[in-house]
Amino acid sequence: MAKAASSKKNKKQAATAEPQVSATSGSGPRTLAVDIGGTGVKTMLLDEVGKPLTDRLRAKTPDPATPKAVIAIIADFAKELGDFDRVSVGFPGVIKKGVVYTAANLDKKWIEFPFADELSKALGKPVRVANDAVVQGLGGVSGIGVELVITLGTGMGAGLYIDGVPIPSLEMGHHPFRGHKTYEDYLGRRALAREGRKKWNKRLKEAIDQLFGVFYYDRLFIGGGNAAKITMKLPKNAKIISNEDGILGGIKLWERDQDELRQ
Ligand code: BGC
């Protein structure tokens, strides 16, 4: 499915703020959607409504997961996937105006790294970056009332939306859950592997109750690779969202006003 990249795409230059639609992209802009996780880097091309145009390419997150190593993977995938006009990235940490401030499950070199600018230089296209859970939620929430998104993967991500607008940098995963231990300590990938599904599900139930007590959300959405490990009965106002919702969030990142997203 993937096509060879045009040489134009690889120009190492800063891109303009708004994407130019390439002649080959059909009726609307094509987006290179990237999801960076603690275990995998995933990339695919989407059309203007978020429909996949290619397979989803996945590589293991490099170790050490430095900015240079991660950007190299994205650049290789971009070449393989073919023409695109703009890039959206879900990143597992705090992002403000394209700059990374935390990266709990990646290399420390990410701290204060101007990721959006650097990736834009590497790919020659405009780039928008937001927290991975925020991106996932943008594709999944209804846009009405108070909605909470949590993602269960290597870490625990969270996004809180008021009428569809995310509040910046919730980072619920690093908040104490029990004693000095955080939600991520109890519900992240390592905890699931260590404790097993049954115990992890019991903890998840407890966490959901606790989060409801804090936010009184109207709806809760649960995404991430380990959402598939949920066996407990979810409350009526909670639902699992798919990877596709997360991918659609990559398109929403371009549809929304960046100032409103504060990412
Ligand atoms: C990070 C969050 C991220 C989550 C899921 C946490 O460790 O701090 O920013 O959303 O992992 O990737």
What tens digit of pLDDT does each residue of 196-246 get?
999 999 999 999 999 999 999 999 999 999 999 999 999 999 999 987 777
Q: Is residue 65 part of a domain?
A: yes
Identify the residue whose tokens are 């409504």. 49
Distance CA 21, CA 27 (A): 9
- Please write the tens of the pLDDT for every residue from 140-185: 999 999 999 999 999 999 999 999 999 988 999 999 999 999 999 9
Q: Is residue 28 part of a domain?
A: yes
Question: Are residues 173 and 99 part of one domain?
Answer: no
Question: Are residues 89 and 70 part of one domain?
Answer: yes
Question: Are residues 176 and 114 part of one domain?
Answer: no
Chain mean pLDDT for the chain: 89
Question: Are residues 124 and 11 part of one domain?
Answer: yes
At 200 the pLDDT is 98
Closest to 255 (Cα-Cα) out of 170, 130, 147, 169: 130
At 129 the pLDDT is 96
Cβ–ligand 1 distance for 151 under 6 Å, the answer: yes
Question: Are residues 176 and 68 part of one domain?
Answer: no
Tell me phi and psi for residue 164, to 5 degrees.
Answer: 85, -10
The tally of domains found in the chain comes to: 2
Return the residue whose CA atom lies nearest to atom 6 of ligand 1: 155
Q: Is residue 129 part of a domain?
A: yes
Tell me phi and psi for residue 36, to 5 degrees.
Answer: -100, 125
Question: Are residues 177 and 60 part of one domain?
Answer: no
Question: Are residues 126 and 39 part of one domain?
Answer: yes
Please classify residue 98 by burial: count the beta carbons closer than 10 Å to its beta carbon, then call 0-12 exposed, 13-18 middle and 19+ buried. buried
Q: Is residue 1 part of a domain?
A: no
pTM: 0.89
Identify the residue whose tokens are 């097993």. 196
The closest-lying atom of ligand 1 relative to the alpha carbon of residue 93 is 9
In testing the pocket of ligand 1, which one of 134, 154, 160, 263 has its CB within 8 Å of the most ligand atoms? 154
Q: Is residue 2 part of a domain?
A: no
Domain limits at 167? 141-240
Question: Are residues 23 and 77 part of one domain?
Answer: yes
- Please write the tens of the pLDDT for every residue from 74-87: 999 999 999 999 99
Q: 59: Cβ–Cβ under 8 A, 6 or more apart, which residues?
A: 40, 41, 73, 77
pLDDT tops 90 at residue 262 = no
Question: Are residues 249 and 234 part of one domain?
Answer: no
Cβ–ligand 1 distance for 246 under 6 Å, the answer: no
Radius of gyration of the chain (CA): 18
Furthest-apart CA atoms within the chain: distance in Å:
57
Cβ–ligand 1 distance for 136 under 6 Å, the answer: no
Task: Report the pLDDT averaged over residues 117-140.
Answer: 96
Distance 259 CA to ligand 1 centre (A): 22
Neighbours of 163 (CB within 10 A): 11
Return the residue whose CA atom lies nearest to atom 5 of ligand 1: 157
pLDDT tops 90 at residue 108 = yes
Question: Are residues 214 and 252 part of one domain?
Answer: no
What CATH number does the domain containing 229 carry? 3.30.420.40
CA dihedral 172, 108, 73, 78 (to 10 degrees): 60
Q: Is residue 233 part of a domain?
A: yes
Closest to 32 (Cα-Cα) out of 42, 44, 23, 24: 44
At 26 the pLDDT is 59
How, if at all, do strands 57-60 and 99-100 pair?
Answer: unpaired
Question: Are residues 164 and 77 part of one domain?
Answer: no
If DSSP states are collapsed to H, E and C, what string results for the chain?
A: CCCCCCHHHHCCCCCCCCCCCCCCCCCCCCEEEEEECCCEEEEEEECCCCCECCCCEEEECCCCCCHHHHHHHHHHHHHHHCCCCEEEEEECCCEECCEECCCCCCCHHHCCCCHHHHHHHHHCCCEEEEEHHHHHHHHHCCCCCEEEEEEECCCEEEEEEECCEECCCCCHHHCEEECCEEHHHHHCHHHHHHHCHHHHHHHHHHHHHHHHHHHCCCEEEEECHHHHHCCCCCCCCEEECCHHHHHHHHHHHHHCCHHHHCC
The closest-lying atom of ligand 1 relative to the alpha carbon of residue 155 is 11
Distance CA 174, CA 105 (A): 12
Question: Are residues 167 and 61 part of one domain?
Answer: no
- Please write the tens of the pLDDT for every residue from 6-36: 333 333 334 444 544 444 445 799 999 999 9
